[in-house]
Structure 1
């Protein structure tokens, strides 16, 4: 049997393992599966990464949205191995998985090896702190559910603490009128999609926490949100008109925008910019950029770019090994006709997973592999239940159109539902949507504990 090993259970990796399992592992010839499919991830559960800002704001309970890898493997015919990729031996076609420990530090699984015929690396990305002093120590990233939950709990604690402190006005600078300063201030570094979406969700969270009596602060005046972006505008990767429309909506929500300000230092309770400004910050979130995990630069000589991404050809094969593929955020894939590579977006990972499913059919039959072509369908940014904004382009409408409001919100929600459909099929996706709606009718809009 041909052995497929997919490392990384994110949007692209999990979709690929699921569909490979359905096509090759569950179907048998003379009682033998057509191929063996194994998914590897360091965590036991999956959650769609674009939802982490909602987890951080408390507007989504991750435990109702997580998917158990072992259960998905059982349903779709593949095998799941928990562990973190630590090494690769390309000659022996073998990867090494690190030890798995429980919450008390006891060993659950030892270090072990796993052999492959075709290896797909899809381990995503991590937060890039750009060497800023104090950023790793004093700011919170949103790479994992655990990090998002940590921020949410610290936000609730900060609100409750602020209410019960002495009602003395807070002044950050001498001569500043006290009434203009919020009692709690959250600084978000990075005006990309994650930073923008989190800032809007936090405004909703502050209102809900106040409505449920967890604090008696004014959710708009006493809870300040500052979004700091080094570039001249927020959402620099999107078109300027999308950025402008989003900035106007955020300002209506009371989010303070600081553009053209590069963060030079993060310290306890404050953020300093290169221009000399100091921003008070009871909580600091770092959403300023991404890079590939460090382990990719240590994988038996596979070439990487300056962000640590694996260099791949248009077949998604690594440049020096035809048996090793990469997709998603960890892959530097050429985008013909553009100066940059395929962008690190969920839609790109989904397209690459679908492409590899077809390409591996050719590979099993010893036919030439096709080349991947990325189709940009536009970008959407959620502003919580307040609104959404974005642009549709390419194959959707044949041009480029700015959308916002209810229609944009519907389109944004549809992206996650399409991901669910890729994992479970459309019938189960419809049932999941209905079940989610029922849960929302009996639960508060924000997780309160």
Structure 2
């Protein structure tokens, strides 16, 4: 029986495992295994909501083991530590609980391997970033930010009114940074209903971007301008054309010597592939550690090893590279799955990925939603307000339907909508 291993359970990884599990695993045509460091999946575009407590992982997270059992694949918890390409073995690091080893290092044999471990924040070698900044790369980090914020907010839960200001700096004004800035203001606004003596006048959020404008990867200036105006309206200080040169436990220093005080610094500027990718049996990587792949999603030095999502660099016909976006990870995962099935039938893997930008949407919590749809069609259509909000929500709903199927997916959407009505708006424990 063919053995297919997918390492990384993000949107691309779990989507690929689901597709192959349903088409091959259920029929006994292949043994499909998904590997991830943690036990459950959370859609990465919602991590900023996990960090502020707006999203409850106990309700919205997908259990890998439960999902695997229902969709014809298997799950192994573990972290990618190496790759033995000669013997087609994936090496997983041991799992510890403190000093206690729960699972030893293991090898998983494969005939086809899909690497989908995503990306991590790029600190660009700037002094103090690794030591003093918080990151939002995965659920664990988001939960860590939530704990820090809750402890800081706890100071305002007494009967006395405190005037101490909370100074937060967010470096990187892409979608993650801008959405995080708005979500923090919404969270503080909500806290007043839970007995906290705090309001947004005590929250100083500074959004910092090295580019000329926020959302530099979004094609339309109108979208960036619209988001910037809304952020400034709710009280977020937006700094553009501003480069960070050092971060300390109290301050951020910019090029030119300008300093901003910050108690909490969240870093969301740029991405790179995890360090382990540099050591995977001599596979080709680029300058930011991404695995270089062909448009078939196959790595350049091994036809049986595929890579999808943020951890890979996929070329386009015009000489550019597929951008590290969720839609690209999902679509490239479909290409990888189809090509693996072709190779299993003895056919050439001729499904080639052509990236089409379906658009970008930015959701500033309850304040504002704006974006561009079908960007590949003459620049696309700009949408704002309720239409943009509905479209933004539909992206997550489509993800749920892909994971659960049409019937169970719709039921899951209804259940989650009901939970949002009956449960508290913020998770405070």
The TM-score with structure 2 as length reference comes to 0.96
| Aligned CA-pair RMSD | 1.7
SS at match of 2:124: coil
Q: Matched residues in 1 for 2:73 and 2:158: separation?
A: 53
Q: Matched residues in 2 for 1:72 and 1:167: separation?
A: 47
Equivalent in the alignment of 1:173: none
Equivalent in the alignment of 1:292: 273
1:150 to 2:129 alignment: no
Shift of 1:167: 7.6
SS at match of 2:200: coil
SS at match of 1:285: strand
Q: Matched residues in 1 for 2:120 and 2:163: separation?
A: 39
Please show how residues 39-438 of structure 1 align to structure 2 within 5 Å. 39-102=34-97, 104-161=98-155, 183-214=165-196, 216-217=197-198, 219-239=199-219, 240-337=221-318, 339-370=319-350, 371-394=352-375, 399-438=379-418
Shift of 1:418: 0.9
Contact 2:129–2:247 (Cα < 8 Å) also in 1: yes
Alpha-carbon displacement from aligned partner over 1:243-302 (angstroms, at most 9, x marks no partner):
111111111111110111111111112211112111111211011111100000001110
Shift of 1:84: 1.0
Q: Matched residues in 2 for 1:152 and 1:89: separation?
A: 38
Q: Matched residues in 1 for 2:410 and 2:161: separation?
A: 50
* Paired residues, number: 427
Shift of 1:356: 2.1
Equivalent in the alignment of 1:177: none
Alpha-carbon displacement from aligned partner over 1:114-169 (angstroms, at most 9, x marks no partner):
11111111110011111111111111001122211221222222233267699897
Contact 1:230–1:262 (Cα < 8 Å) also in 2: yes
Shift of 1:319: 0.7
Equivalent in the alignment of 1:25: 25
Structure-2 change in CA distance of 1:169 and 1:14 (3 Å): closer
Q: Does 304-313 or 106-115 show the bigger shift?
A: 106-115
Q: Matched residues in 1 for 2:294 and 2:167: separation?
A: 45
1:11 to 2:11 alignment: yes
SS at match of 1:221: helix
Gaps of 5+ in 1: 28-32, 171-182
Shift of 1:357: 2.4
Q: Matched residues in 1 for 2:150 and 2:37: separation?
A: 29
Q: Matched residues in 2 for 1:83 and 1:17: separation?
A: 16
1:34 to 2:14 alignment: no
Contact 1:209–1:448 (Cα < 8 Å) also in 2: no
Contact 1:261–1:275 (Cα < 8 Å) also in 2: no
Q: Matched residues in 2 for 1:101 and 1:292: separation?
A: 24
Moved over 2 A (4+): 159-170
SS at match of 2:294: coil
Q: Matched residues in 2 for 1:243 and 1:80: separation?
A: 41
Shift of 1:361: 2.5
Alpha-carbon displacement from aligned partner over 1:152-207 (angstroms, at most 9, x marks no partner):
2222222332676998977xxxxxxxxxxxx1111101111110000010110010
Gaps of 5+ in 2: none
Contact 2:306–2:336 (Cα < 8 Å) also in 1: no
The TM-score with structure 1 as length reference comes to 0.92
Contact 2:68–2:74 (Cα < 8 Å) also in 1: yes
Shift of 1:242: 1.3
Contact 2:297–2:335 (Cα < 8 Å) also in 1: no
Alpha-carbon displacement from aligned partner over 1:285-343 (angstroms, at most 9, x marks no partner):
01111110000000111010001000111111111111111000001001222x43111
Q: Matched residues in 2 for 1:286 and 1:165: separation?
A: 34
Contact 2:361–2:392 (Cα < 8 Å) also in 1: yes
Contact 2:181–2:205 (Cα < 8 Å) also in 1: yes
